[in-house]
Amino acid sequence: MTLFAEAWLLLFLLAAGLVAGALAALAMGHLLGDDWLRAVRPGLEAAVRAAPLLLPLSLPVLLLMGRLYPWAVAAPADPVHAVWFAPAFFAARVVGALALWAALGRWLLAGTRDALHPRRAGAVLLLLVPTSGVAAQDLALSRDLSWFGSLQGFALVVGAASAALAGAALAALLRRGQPQPGNLDGLERALLTLGMAVLWLWFIQFVVAWAGNLPEEAAWYGRRGEGVWLWVKFGFALPALLAAVALSLVPQWRAWRLGAVCALLFAHHAAQVAWVVVPDSPALRAAVAA
């Protein structure tokens, strides 16, 4: 059952991240009014319409939280953490965030087909960014409370937005004639911006942790700098992100290069989520300690 819970948590985080990321990318397209939105809009809207499915998909995580989160078995010593991570309050936050995303997506998609809704998009981003950051911190990062409240949750959200936009662009490439050459410049800039943001966010957090030289933060990175996780990060995830950024900087894009960048960004996000989440598995840490 523990193995099932761990696998479900990872898959749920990837699915929820892609839905939230698609909503963020769609809202940014509405807000900016760039031409690139036309090419990727069908894929992003399809992901946003799937948001209500996240509610039933979250049930195994909530029902099995005792196998996934140490604070669900023994309340944290810190009174603030003890209140914040009370199981009932945690479940209410998760369900509330997922319901809010579904409502925001339905609101953004309502109205005239193919029309832009910049005011709605701005309101969506104002509500989506903080709630998705809190949800990422709760679901993906709260298994180790020694580094709570950092930018890691926001970095995961930005990575999910890059993966969602990349996935929608790949879907557009598979449709004959899409995206048109005129859409490539704007789409290229959007993917490059998100890729650079992901790289900067994870790099600056590492620099802050290294400069602070705190034992808890060092231990967090230490668990991810050994064995297979060292190769996941430095042998796959980081090279994929750097290659995507490098290819994005090449002028005079071609469809094959766009496809390569999208595939690399998508692969990076999947590997990064696994690198962040799995090493803090209670069962894995107990096995290592033994």
Sorted by where each begins, the domain ranges of the chain are 2-285
Distance CA 231, CA 279 (A): 13
Residues 235, 218: Cα–Cα separation, whole Å: 21
Q: To the nearest 10°, report the CA torsion of 40, 45, 197, 253.
A: -10
At residue 179, does pLDDT exceed 60?
Answer: no
Q: What percent of the chain has pLDDT over 90?
A: 55
Average pLDDT over residues 226-251: 91
Using one digit for the tens of pLDDT, what is the confidence trace for 43-58? Answer: 999 999 999 999 999 9
Residue 184 has pLDDT above 70, yes or no: no
- Give me the DSSP letters along the chain: -HHHHHHHHHHHHHHHHHHHHHHHHHHHHHHH--THHHHHHHHHHHHHHTGGGHHHHTHHHHHTHHHH-GGGTS--SSHHHHHHT-HHHHHHHHHHHHHHHHHHHHHHH-SSTT---HHHHHHHHHHHHHHHHHHHIIIIITT-GGGTTSSHHHHHHHHHHHHHHHHHHHHHHHSTT-S-HHHHHHHHHHHHHHHHHHHHHHHHHHHHHHHHT-HHHHHHHHHTSSHHHHHIIIIIIHHHHHHHHHHHTSSS--HHHHHHHHHHHHHHHHHHHHHHHGGG-HHHHHHHH-
Residue, of 137 and 219, whose pLDDT is higher:
137
pLDDT in tens, 72-100: 888 888 888 889 999 999 999 999 999 99
What's the confidence (pLDDT) of residue 286? 58
Range 203-232 average pLDDT: 83
Higher pLDDT, 216 or 12: 12
Q: How many whole angstroms separate alpha carbon 227 and alpha carbon 64?
A: 28
Q: Is the pLDDT of residue 265 over 60?
A: yes
Residue 183: pLDDT over 80: no
Average per-residue pLDDT for the chain: 87
Report percent pLDDT > 70 for the chain.
91
Half-sphere exposure of 62 (CA within 13 A, CB side): 19
Pick the CATH number of 2-285 from 3.40.50, 1.10.3720, 1.10.10, 1.20.1630: 1.20.1630
Quick one: pLDDT band at residue 232, thresholds 50, 70, 90?
Answer: very high
Does residue 169 surpass a pLDDT of 70?
yes
- When pLDDT is cut at 50, 70 and 90, the band that residue 116 belongs to is confident
Which residues are within 8 A (CB) of 283 and not within 5 positions of it... i.e. 6 or more apart? 2, 6, 67
> Of the given ranges (6-15, 141-150, 190-199), which has the lowest mean pLDDT?
141-150
User: What mean pLDDT comes out for the span 158-183?
Assistant: 80
